[in-house]
Structure formats: structure tokens, C-alpha cells
A and B are shown apart, each in its own frame.
Chain A
Amino acid sequence: MSAVRRTRGRTLEFKDVHDGGGPLLAVEDLHTAFRTTRGTVRAVDGVSFELQAGTTLGIVGESGSGKTVLSRSIMGLLPPHDVLRSGTVHFAGHELTAMKPSELRQVWGAELSMIFQDPMTALNPVKRIGKQITESLLLHLDMDKKEAASTAVELLRSVGIPSPEERVRWYPFQLSGGMRQRVMIAIALACAPRLVLADEPTTGLDVTVQAQILDLLGDLQRERHMAVILVTHDLGVVASRADEIIVMYAGRIVERAPADTLFHDTHMPYTKALMESIPRLADPAGTRLTAIPGRPPDLIHPPKGCRFAPRCPYAQTKCLEAEPPLRTAGSPDHLFACWFPLVNGVSTAPAPVAGNGAAATTLPDGPGDTATATAQAASGGTDAAAPGSGDGPTAGGETEAEA
């Protein structure tokens, strides 16, 4: 599919990133916030990462972690009013965040496309599926109606839809959920984009269909040398499919690593908690899944310290007061944000504060002088403060040292 002819009249030229060497996508300090009547919701709060052509990035987090908003703000797809976005997104040598709407429309669907979460609602219910595919073809590629129609049939065939000649005339309601998601993939891949953002592409589907769809996406990706960003709440989904994984929590990246490293050298307690909530076939029947207690924080008034601290089993007073920066672990491509990271699956935090909720409630109203004084005594902060000794280690000098 390297020989696609783009429609004439396009004002944007895309250099071939295979030769360029630079990343296909570079996201730099991206912030996205929504103005609501209750206040400003900071859904994405300072996210940076890079993605190489042809690779797969998994973005994982609970509902409300900002992953869907992140994928939409990378694309620039959020409605302009009441949305505040800052930071930059570079894609194939162009700055998406600086583009006019008319320029973005040349990128959308052509170079950068999206697969939506719910195939039941993301296809137009009153348009034949063939029409929904040819629409993009006619818009972005130099094709006449006849060519577009036969290409649509080929696309449906390539995503594994039986008797595609007939199916192009069908309406979405005549297809099953899995079939609809295949149609959506066909639409997203129609113009051979360089990057596909797949936002929970299998969440609405049966478990048996999920794997089929993900495998299909993987096969097509290899065939066409596309990059894929796979957004999901399920670490299991990205485990074997992503080259690199970003774990998001409350609008921020809390851990980022190549897939293997993430699983074998987990640093962030949140990542570990996500892993433990994946059901495993090897577990004996009746094994209880470990759920993460509590809910993600309110993004209008996020917690002051580490945003995961109120739910973290290892949280210390310091975690509740100062936000941990994103720093490198063993290798430069492994980043994490935690004051007391896990090492070999064991927390480096002092003995867990009994009942995390209690830790939160006994917090002093503000960092008083006494707190600072004890913090200095306990600097280094890994093994000093004994439980029940009153104030644990607090922010103190260590924040500055690490930041």
C-alpha cells in the first residue's frame, strides 16, 4: 500500500518518515482541560512521549485516567469550545497543534486515523457500510467512484468480512458487533494511514472476538507498516502486542517502559495493581481478583501529592504531600513516577502506613515547622520512619533534589 495516490489539491506534503529517522509522533507536555460549571477538569496534565514509525504503543489506565482524552487531543479531535489544550504534537514532521482546521482535515483519515471504542455507535446507522468506506477514499485518494467501490470491497475482504461484495450494501444494524468493528478497522485503514489511534477497540466486544480483532489489527499493521496507539484499560490486551507501554493515572504518565521491562521490572505500585487485577487462566477456580480500592481522583481538585497515594497500599506521608517526578529507572527508556518504587516486586517504602485512609486523615493541615524538622531527620526516607512514630517523612529537601 505504499503506492497510494493522494488527491490533488492537498496543501500538505508528508516526508517519508522511514528515511527521516525521527519519531513519527512526538507529544510534548500536552495538557488538555475542560471548562465545566464545577470547575476546570484537567483530563490530560503534562504528557510527553515519542513514537517510532511502525511500532505499537499501549496506553493503559482505568476509566477516567485521561487516556481517551489523550488520544483525542493528540489528533486534535476535541471540540474547540470549552476545551483548553497546550503543549505540542508533532506528526510526521508537521505540528498538528499549530494546524488550521482545513489542514487537519487533510491529515485526519489520510495519515492519521482513529478506531473508536463502540462499533455500535461509531458507525452511522442510516448509511450503507460501503458508502462509509468510500467516503474517505473519495475524499483523500485520487479515485473515481468505481475504483473506490471496488477498493471498499477489497478492504472488507482484508478485514475478514465474508462475501464483501454483498456486505457493502448492508447497514450497520445488520452486522454483529465484531463485524462492525472489522468495518471500522476497514474505514480507519482505508487510506493507508501512518498512525492509527485505537481507542479501546475491543471493549464492547465478546472476549472471543476481542483476540480476533486485535490479531487482525496486528496483522494489518505489519503488512502496512503502520504505527498503532492502542488505548485500553486492560494491561492484558497490550502485554503481547505493544512494543512500549504507557501507564496513565489521573491525567499523567506514571510509568512508561518497553513492554517486557514493564512487566518484569514494575516500579510503580499502580502498574502492579493493574497487573494484579487481570484474571489469569493459571489461577485456581474461585481465586479472587485483587481490585484497586477507591476511585480515581477528582480531576478538578486533584490530590496534592502523588495522585495515586490515597489508594496506594504503600503510601507514606511524603507521597501525600509532594508529587513524584517522572524519572528514569535502570535504563533510559524506563520512566516512572513514585517516591518509593517497587524493586523486584517489593516496595521500597517503609512498612506500610496502617490503613491508608488513616494516613490521609492524620495529615497536618499544612506543612508546619515540626513536620519539616522531622523530615530532615528522616531524609533518605526509605527505612527511617517507624510506623506510629507520628509524622512520617515529608517533602522537605528531597523534592528539590529529585526534581
Chain B
Amino acid sequence: MGKYFLRRSIQLVVVAFIISILAFLLVHLLPGDPSVTILGPNDTAQNRAILLKQLGLNKPLWQQYTTWLTAVFHGNLGQSYLNHESVVHILATGFPIDLELIVISQIIAFAVAIPLALFTSRRPNRPVDNVATTGTFGLLALPPFVIAPILVAVFAVGLNWFPATGFVPLTQDPWANLQHMILPSVAITFGSIAVYYRLLRSDLISTLQQDFITMARSKGLSNRRIMWRHAFRPSTFSLLAAAGVNIGGLIAGTFIVEYLFALSGIGFSLVQAVNQRDYLVVQGISLVVALAYVILQFIVDFLFTVVDPRVSRG
């Protein structure tokens, strides 16, 4: 077990390092550079050369990368070329928003998908199952940018239950924070519900055909107990793998919702920085997102060993 974690930790560092190189290369390979935005009307060839020299962007790429990496190891992610906001500060204010969106939307998704799948898989192709399966298919087809305006129109403008936009930090007022986060979280939860429900349902249906379920029945266990204690855990493998990929995609992948609800999460900051060629902001956010992603997969792998004892030992 200890060896397993050590191996995974080394992998984590290596993967994060490779991702940082890729992020660095990608953003530098994009045509254009930050001088266009910074100089505006003073964009002459001479000014440009001076600016690029000041920013160190005239040096070879590998030198720029090592300079950046050395600074990163000293905890300095640099600052924005445009408004001189430090990248660490952008991350410190933005990342908790993304994290909260993910946590709330995933709690809702699991809370809906798991009981629903446990219920319908016992009687597949009955009315309830058909409605749920068709319904989730519809949800899958509805992207967040369609759902979000509907939610705002109904729950913010119409019923006035929740604020339409804005953000209050959790540390400042937890209740107001939750009110602001509910609608954006719900807007991104539907896709997850659909995926989780469908995967769990089909895995449960095949698990319920297994001999060990008949065996559990022959012991006299109640259906409820069989579903939760015998069928659920062996049916969660695909769910877990899909959740890993899905949540990974949501890290910095929620910029549309952040944009629509005026949340300054890192997803939104990242898209903005890419457009402005704000290299250090892009690199800083990419690095953190990559680390978060790798840590997430690490957690998922660990959960696999919890759910299925054969994974780590077998």
C-alpha cells in the first residue's frame, strides 16, 4: 500500500512537470504576443522591441521557461502583464469559486443520480425507468449556456429566490455565498447527473444478474439491503472513472457559467488571459489546473482501491 502511494506520488510530480512544459509551449506558439494589448495605439516596431526586451520575451523559449520554472519553485508565479495583478492572487480568489462550483454541482449530481439508478435498475424498462432514462438523455443534450438563462429567468428574475449574478466569499457570509452559488452549480450539474445515472444504472443492471446477488437473496436479505450492501459497490467502477474525467473537465472548464453569472473563477480568467496573450497568467493557471487534475486522478485511483479490494493487491 505504501509503495503504491509512493509510486503514484512520483507520477504526479512528473505529469505536472510535463503539463507545465506543454502549457508553456502552446501559449507561446499562438500567433501574437502581449505587446499588442499593452501598447495599444503606441504599437510601433521600436516600442515593441523595447517592451519585449523589458518583459524578457526576446530570449530563446527554453530560457524563458527555465526562468519561469525557477521562479515557480520560489513560490513566485509572476504577475499579469496588463494589470500587474499577481498570478498567485488571481488563483487565490478564483480557484475557490471553481472548487465550490464543482463540489456543489457534484454533490447534487450524486444525490440525484445514485438513488434514481438504484431505484430504476431493479425494474428496467418499466415506466419510471423509461421516463428517467429518456429524461436524462434530454438533460445531456442541454448545455449549461441554455440551462443557465432559463434558471436565471425562473428562479432569480421570476421567483426571486436566488441572486442572478455576483459572488460573496464563503468566509465572509456562508449563507449568502451558498445563495450565489446554487444557480451556477445547478446549471452545470445536469450533464453530470445524466452521465452518472446512465452509467450506474447499466452497471447495476448487469451486477443484479450476478450469482452473488441471487446468493444474497437466498440468505433472506431485504431488497434494500441487497441494493446498497451488495449491488452498489461493485457497480461503481465506471461511475468512478467517469466522475474522475468529468470533474477534471470542470476544473477551469466552467468559464461559460462563470461568465453568465459574473463569477471571477479561474476558468474565466484563463480564457481572458489566453485572448490577451497574458503568458504568465496562462502558465500559472495551467500549472495549478494540471496539478489539481493529477491530484483528482490520484484520489480517484485511491477510491478504486477502496471500492474494489482486488485493485491494489491483485
Chain A residues packing against B (C-beta within 8 Å): 75, 77, 81, 104-110, 113-114, 116-118, 121-127, 135-136, 139-140, 171, 173-174, 184, 187
B residues less than 8 Å from A124 (CB atoms): 212, 215-216, 230, 234
B residues less than 8 Å from A140 (CB atoms): 220
Chain B's nearest CB lies how many Å from the CB of A14? 14
B residues less than 8 Å from A139 (CB atoms): 219-221
Number of residues of chain B lying within 8 A (CB) of chain A: 23
B residues less than 8 Å from A117 (CB atoms): 211
Contact of B220 with A107 in the complex, beta carbons under 8 Å: yes
Contact of A113 with B309 in the complex, beta carbons under 8 Å: no
Beyond the given pairs A105-B221, A105-B222, A136-B219, 16 more chain A to chain B contacts, judged by CB atoms under 8 angstroms and listed by A's residue number, are A77-B218, A104-B220, A108-B219, A114-B218, A116-B211, A121-B212, A122-B212, A123-B215, A124-B212, A124-B216, A127-B229, A135-B219, A136-B220, A171-B310, A173-B310, A187-B215
Q: A77-B214, A118-B211, A173-B314 are in contact. Are A126 and B307 (CB under 8 A)?
A: yes
Q: Is B210 an interface residue (CB 8 A)?
A: yes
Contact of B310 with A113 in the complex, beta carbons under 8 Å: no
Query: Could you name 19 residue pairs across A and B whose Cβ atoms are closer than 8 Å?
Result: A77-B214, A106-B220, A108-B220, A109-B221, A113-B218, A113-B219, A116-B214, A116-B215, A124-B230, A124-B234, A126-B307, A127-B229, A135-B219, A135-B221, A135-B229, A136-B219, A139-B219, A173-B314, A174-B313
A residues less than 8 Å from B216 (CB atoms): 124
Complex: chain B residue closest to A136, CB-CB: B219
A residues less than 8 Å from B218 (CB atoms): 75, 77, 108-109, 113-114, 116
Q: A125-B234, A171-B309 are in contact. Are A110 and B212 (CB under 8 A)?
A: no
Complex: chain A residue closest to B209, CB-CB: A79
Query: Roughly how many angstroms separate A81 CA and B212 CA in the complex, as a whole number?
Result: 20
Q: Is B217 an interface residue (CB 8 A)?
A: yes
Question: Looking at B219, B221, B230, which has the most chain A CB atoms within 10 Å of its CB?
Answer: B219
Which 9 pairs show the lowest CB-CB distances between chains A and B? A109-B220, A109-B219, A108-B220, A122-B211, A121-B211, A105-B220, A114-B218, A124-B212, A122-B215
Contact flags B191-224 to A (C-beta < 8 A → 1, else 0): 0000000000000000000111011111111100
Chain B's nearest CB lies how many Å from the CB of A128? 8
Contact of A110 with B220 in the complex, beta carbons under 8 Å: yes
Query: Roughly how many angstroms separate A184 CA and B216 CA in the complex, as a whole number?
Result: 11
Complex: chain B residue closest to A174, CB-CB: B313
Query: Roughly how many angstroms separate A204 CA and B212 CA in the complex, as a whole number?
Result: 15
A residues less than 8 Å from B89 (CB atoms): none
Chain A's nearest CB lies how many Å from the CB of B226? 10
Query: Roughly how many angstroms separate A148 CA and B216 CA in the complex, as a whole number?
Result: 17
B residues less than 8 Å from A105 (CB atoms): 220-222
Contact flags B262-303 to A (C-beta < 8 A → 1, else 0): 000000000000000000000000000000000000000000
Question: Looking at A104, A124, A187, which has the most chain B CB atoms within 10 Å of its CB?
Answer: A124
Q: Which of B77-117 contact A (CB under 8 A)?
A: none
Complex: chain A residue closest to B309, CB-CB: A171
Chain B's nearest CB lies how many Å from the CB of A79? 9
Chain B's nearest CB lies how many Å from the CB of A32? 15
Complex: chain A residue closest to B314, CB-CB: A173
Chain B's nearest CB lies how many Å from the CB of A52? 23
